[in-house]
Structure 1
Amino acid sequence: MKRIRFFQTVQWKIVILYLLLILIAMQVIGAYFIRSAESYYLNNFNETLNTQANLLAVNVEKYLEEEMVPREDIDNLIHNLFALRNADVQLLDQNGIVLTTTEENKAFIGQKNTRAEVNMALLGTRNESIQYNPETRQRVKVLALPIKKGTKILGVLYMVASMEEVYHTMRQINGIFATGTGIALLLTAALGIVLARTITTPVKEITRQATAMANGDFNRQVRIYSEDEIGQLGETFNLLTRRLKQALSQTEAEKEKLSSILANMSDGVIAADGDRNIILVNKPAQRILGVSYKTVLGKNLYEVLSIPGDSDERDSLFEENGSLLMDMNVEGEERLIRFSFTVLKNRAEQKHAGIIAVLQDVTEQKALERERQEFVANVSHELRTPLTTLKSYLEALEEGVVDDPELSRRFLRVLLNETDRMTRLVTDLLQLSRYDAGQYNFDFQPVNVPELLQDVVERFALQSRQENIELQLDFPAHDLPPVKADRDNIIQVLDNLISNAMKYSNENTKVMIQACEVGEKYVRIDIMDEGMGIRKRDLTRIFERFYRVDKARSRSMGGTGLGLSIARQIVLAHGGTIEIDSEWQKGTRVSFTLPVYEEMKNES
């Protein structure tokens, strides 16, 4: 069963409590007052009745001692001495015979009164009681007073007095008291409502403000109605609202900063709670791990990172701050991921509160480190070989070979060749370092591709006849558009590619050089040979510096191992692409593209 709604409000609780308090107080006071008034009036009534009865008994005693007393004298005496209204008096002799009465009905005179009270009085016992008169429907006081002379009973004074005036007076008093109680209750209710409103109105304002704050509205203020404790509470709540608004604004700003930092970090960040369940993962972490936010949120950190072992073994890894380096398969590709983690601890409860892990994909970094080490090793090896040769021949010259003209000239030619080899190596390294640093100045001009290729082929004509390798040019029937290029640098690329094609080709083979337009923006140049080819395992690393497919043959031919790397850098700097396709023992195809010179094209 539900409560009545107004019992759920403080205002009506206060009003009802005040009404109940006043009602209880009025009832207690009324009960005590009415009891006292009733006792007073009844005692006064009884005292008056007893006084009148004793007075009559004393005065009629002398008449009852005489045998013959005129009834008129007794009537006069009773009427003169008895002053109570609404009361009847009978005077009885010692036999219970009514001698006289104040009642209108005089038929009782001469008759015997047989009431129990009279009989007890004739025996000498005073008797009084309150009785209900069925005829008048009123309460009456019955008093039977024996009249004695010594021990002798002379008669009985029998009195019946109505108590209606006493109870009428009490009813009037009760009515006045009830009216006063009602007026007091109405005034109390009115004052209680006013008092309750002075308390509950500010409380309602504070409640509405608290509800608005719970819904995110911090712009409202509690209205202050007074300067008492309730008003001070309202002022304090307004201050709390302002402080809370400032705190939330600062928190939101910090949250935005943190979100911006996490979103723009190059490193991945994963946060987990004390149960190792993921609660935050930024976009770089999603990219590094190859997962989405929805799929990993709430999942166990160990499972997402694929950390092996049971829970105890994995927990032992995250007891203190540290880092892990792990190989992971991300979308079918092996990646090397470094996890640097910080363990958050709840100092009060002495237990783990969470983990913050920073993820870094160090695959490229490790590959670059490996390339750097290989590069240093290759440079050292490439320089050591000619330096060793130089030292050996110089020592031989110092030991006396210089005296032999023919042998010393041969040694000097070797020294010159090795010096040239070192010079080419250093020159190539310097050129690559400039490209790596972006320090290259190309003179881009419109270059006619057929003319360029013909010039380059003519330069290799003598070598091709000596090595019995045929050089062929293949152009489309229509004119090719000019390309935007630095002529000297593109000649260096072609020299390197054609030189390699001839170097790794056998006698009685041919090297084909083709040129064609690709779309409307590029011209592609292909150099194809029928030489030894390149194994597939070497194709992915063919553009690495100092990488050689056939190291012994390359060194014997004087190569530095940097030609293809330089060619690639030049082509990329021109905005083109370069790629190699080869089949072992069948030949190699090197293709690179150059952008069309737009101004010339537009003019045409």
Structure 2
Amino acid sequence: MKNLFKSLQSLQIKLVVIYVLLIIVGMQIIGVYFTNVLERDLTGNFKTNIETQIDLIETRIEEINEEYGDDRAGFQAEVQKLLYDYGNRSDIDEIRFVNPDSVLIATSKLSNESSVNSTIKAPKTKESLDTGLSNDEIFVSVEDDSKRMWIVNAPLIVEDRVIGAIYVASNIESVYQQLEKINNTFIIATILSLFITSILGIFVARTITKPIINMRNQALLMSEGNYTSRVQIYSDDEIGQLAESFNILSKRVQEAQANTESEKNRLDSVITHMSDGIIASDRRGRIRLINDMALGLLNLQAEELQGRDMLEILNLQNDVTTEDIVEGTEISHLLVIENKDEEDTMIRVNFSTIVKDTGFINGYIAVLHDVTEQERIDAERREFVANVSHELRTPLTSMKSYIEALQDGAWQDEEIAPRFLKVTHEETERMSRLVEDLLQLSCMDSEVEEINKEIVNFNMFLDRIIERFEMTHKEDVQFIKNFPNTAIFTEIAIDKMGQVLDNVISNAIKYQQREPKRVEFYLQQNSYYNRLTLRIKDYGLGIPNSKVDRIFDRFYRIDKARTRKMGGTGLGLAISKEIVEAHDGKIWANSIEGEGTTIFINLPSEVINEDDWDV
């Protein structure tokens, strides 16, 4: 039923119904007008004919009245004969002549001859006699099969005196029967015309609505995202021009949609692969978009964020409001995200407002910058400056104290003066080494210093360095070497890598208390990856597990007082790390507190046959 009602609301049905209704209304108007005119003409002709006969009867009765004068019996006989003559016609039912006293003088109807010379009760006839005016009426005769009868009463006036009235009852049913036949014919013609016009209307409506239906279907496809199909053009009229315009519109929408999709995909790709986190919200602050970088920075899942408050997720609901973002105040904040197994992540959050051209606020954007490394570098920079200041201030303070003592007369004391000068010299040397190490680090950081590499037999290179230490520590240090029989070749800067090994071996010797001291060397090569690994193990104090990774930081000391006493600057391992990384290598440490430390150096190796090397 619902589908039927919906189909009746279609444009095609409406056009057909309107078309048929117009035809019906038009035919009704024409039928009513035609029927009325025809009825008026037929009844008018019929009445005119009867009235003509009445005029003839009146003329003849006047002649008979003059002819017979006072002979009433002869007058009555002639009038009766006259009425018989005119009453024999098929359209006349009865003709009467009534004198002024309403006495029936003559009648053409045999069944009423018994009433002749009797007073009759006929109000219309009496009215005509009294007024001297004609009157008529149409009534339905119940006695005569309900036929329509037209009654006319016409007074007969002679010398301004009414001498009687002529009553004519005519059968007008034939006129209405003729009208009924014509009306039936008109109704049949109307029905036939409606049937034909309905078929024509359906065809015409289909011709009009077919392209409109096609455009509707195309619009539905467009609403579903399909812009490829086109509307067929059937004509060059207004509907055809509309279909052509619709096809152009569909093409333009397709191009605009493609451009929009392209821009959206480009924007999604940019947002997804941005190095910064992006969070977009609606004007109420509810999250509508968040990229993977933001999820990673916040350690959250996308499913648990959609529709939640952006400031609540960032834990800034007590510090920032949407009004602050709109006004541009307090729009940058630093967040600290705690990680269980890693260092805390520091995030800089900047807010901005999305405003339409109309000035309506459509939402807010939060940009998350990972500033952990920057903050760490800034902290290291501050710590580095503090350490440099401290390392320089300590020898300068000592030197200043001894120099002031010498100025105050200590130089004259033969026992104190040499000792003060020796300490001043040592502090000067220490400060000089510190400045040289800082300069070397600065050059390596700025990549100003060039590293001249050459291919060497690393076994022989390492053996020569160990021999040099054996010569200086042959009594108090044991050096254990575990080298492969096959030569390992690598491309290094001999002086720089020698500095690294000197520093590592010196530390291995310096921080041991056991006697005799012991340093072990293990060298091996991974031919598959073309890498070599050197392990230098000592049996010294060891390093706490939480501080092992920091020994390569600049100025970092496990025991600052003891390291400074031993003459260290705190930059040796940092310089070693810079040199090793400049050789595309890695250096790291493993340590057990109280048992010793192992330094690992991993470098690229070269595949060279030893026979070719000797040549």
TM-score, reference length from structure 1: 0.80
Q: State how far apart, in whole Å, the 2-side matches of 1:71 and 1:23 are.
A: 59
Aligned to 2:332: 323
Deviation at 1:129, TM superposition (A): 4.7
Deviations 1:295-344 (A, max 9, x none): 3233221232122539xx64455343320112222466422111011133
Q: 1: distance between equivalents of 2:323 and 2:587?
A: 51
SS of structure 1 residue aligned to 2:121: helix
1:272 to 281, 286, 295: 281
Matched, 1:499 2:500: no
Provide the identity percentage: 35
| Cα offset, 1:541, TM superposition | 1.7
* Structure-2 separation of matches of 1:460 and 1:141: 158
2:490 counterpart residue number: 484
Shift of 1:174: 2.1
**Whole-angstrom distance in 1 between the partners of 2:542 and 2:125:** 160
Q: Which of 250, 269, 272 lines up with 1:263 in the alignment?
A: 272
Q: In structure 2, do the counterparts of structure 1 residues 196 and 429 end up closer, same or farther at CA, with 3 Å as the change threshold?
A: same
Change (3 A) 1:601 1:215: farther
For 1:31, the equivalent position in structure 2 comes to 32
One of 532, 553, 559 as aligned partner of 2:562: 553
AA at the equivalent of 1:301 = M
Going from structure 1 to structure 2, the CA distance change for 1:17 and 1:603 (only over 3 Å counts) comes to: farther
Letter of the aligned partner of 1:484 in structure 2? T
Contact 1:469–1:510 (Cα < 8 Å) also in 2: yes
SS in 2 for 1:370: helix
Aligned-residue offset at 1:354: 1.5
Distance 1:147 1:458, change over 3 A: closer
Q: State the Cα deviation string for residues 463-504 of structure 1 (Å, max 9, x = none).
A: 435xx633130427x635515252544432222112112211
> 1:469 — aligned with what?
476
**181-190 or 210-219, which deviates more:** 181-190
Identify the range of structure 1 (361-370 vs 60-69) with the bigger mean alpha-carbon deviation: 60-69
Letter in structure 2 aligned against 1:571: V
SS of aligned partner of 1:471? strand
Deviation at 1:120, TM superposition (A): 2.5
- Aligned pairs for 1:173-252 (under 5 A) are 173-175=182-184, 177-178=186-187, 181-182=190-191, 185=194, 189=198, 192=201, 196=205, 199-222=208-231, 230=239, 233-234=242-243, 236-252=245-261
| Range moving further from structure 2, 18-27 or 235-244 | 235-244
Deviation at 1:221, TM superposition (A): 4.8
Contact 1:513 1:527 in 2 (8 A): yes
Greater shift in the superposed pair: 91-100 or 28-37: 91-100
Counterpart of 1:111 in structure 2 is 114
Q: Deviation per CA, 1:169-189: give whole Å up to 9, x if none.
A: 313442454366456646755
Aligned with 2:173 (options 164, 168, 179): 164
Aligned 1:394-413 pairs, distance under 5 A:
none
Tell me what 2:307 maps to. Answer: 298
Unaligned runs of 5+ in 2: 129-135
CA distance in 2, matches of 1:123, 1:132: 18
For 1:535 and 1:39, the matched residues in 2 are separated by 130
Could you say what secondary structure the match of 1:259 adopts? helix
Q: Aligned partners of 2:569, 2:586: CA distance in 1, in Å? A: 23
Contact 2:83 2:106 in 1 (8 A): no
Change (3 A) 1:414 1:80: same
Partner amino acid, structure 1, of 2:513: N
Deviation at 1:443, TM superposition (A): 2.4
1:445 maps to amino acid: I
CA distance in 2, matches of 1:206, 1:497: 84
Q: Report the aligned-residue RMSD.
A: 4.5
* AA matched with 2:539: E
| 1:83–1:559 Cα change, 3 Å | same
Show the 5 A alignment for 1:341-420: 341-345=351-355, 352-386=361-395, 420=429
1:97–1:111 Cα contact (<8 Å) kept? no
Relative distance call for 1:489 and 1:112 in structure 2 (3 A) is same
CA gap of 1:389–1:149, structure 2 versus 1, over 3 A, is closer
Q: Quick one: structure 1 residues 491 and 471, their matched pair in 2 at CA, closer, same or farther if it must change by over 3 Å?
A: farther
Contact persistence 2:437–2:571 (CA under 8 A)? yes
Contact 2:276/2:293, CA 8 A, preserved across alignment = yes
Larger CA deviation: 289-298 vs 264-273: 289-298
Equivalent AA in structure 2 for residue 589 of structure 1:
T
Residues 66 and 437 of structure 1, relative CA distance in 2, 3 Å threshold: same
Number of aligned positions between the proteins: 592
CA drift at 1:543: 0.8
- Which amino acid in the other structure matches residue 9 of structure 1? S
Which 10-residue stretch deviates more, 541-550 or 57-66? 57-66
**Residues 340/284 of structure 1: CA separation in 2 closer, same or farther (3 Å cut):** same
1:86 aligns with 2:87: no
SS of aligned partner of 1:111: helix
Task: Kindly provide the amino acid, as one letter, of the partner of residue 441 in structure 1.
Answer: I
User: Which deviates more from structure 2 when the two are superposed, residues 336-345 or residues 81-90?
Assistant: 81-90
Mark the CA change 1:97 to 1:585 in structure 2 (over 3 Å): closer, same or farther.
closer
Segments of structure 1 that go 5 or more residues without pairing to the other structure are none
1:560 counterpart SS class: coil
Residues 509-539 of structure 1 show CA distances to partners (whole Å, capped at 9, x for unaligned) of: 4223131537655544333333333334432
Shift of 1:130: 2.6
Q: Deviations over 1:365-392 (max 9, x none)?
A: 1111111122223334434555566777
**Aligned equivalents of 1:356, 1:78: Cα separation in 2:** 115
**2:13 paired residue number:** 12
Paired with 1:137 and 1:40, the residues of 2 have a C-alpha distance of 23
Aligned partners of 2:405 and 2:97: how far apart in 1? 184
Distance 2:410 2:117 in 1: 185
Match among 320, 329, 335 for residue 345 of structure 2? 335
CA 109–27 in structure 1, closer or farther in 2 if over 3 Å, else same: closer
Q: 1:11 to 1:385 in 2, by over 3 A?
A: same
How far apart are the structure 1 equivalents of 2:218 and 2:270?
35
Counterpart in 1 of 2:131? none
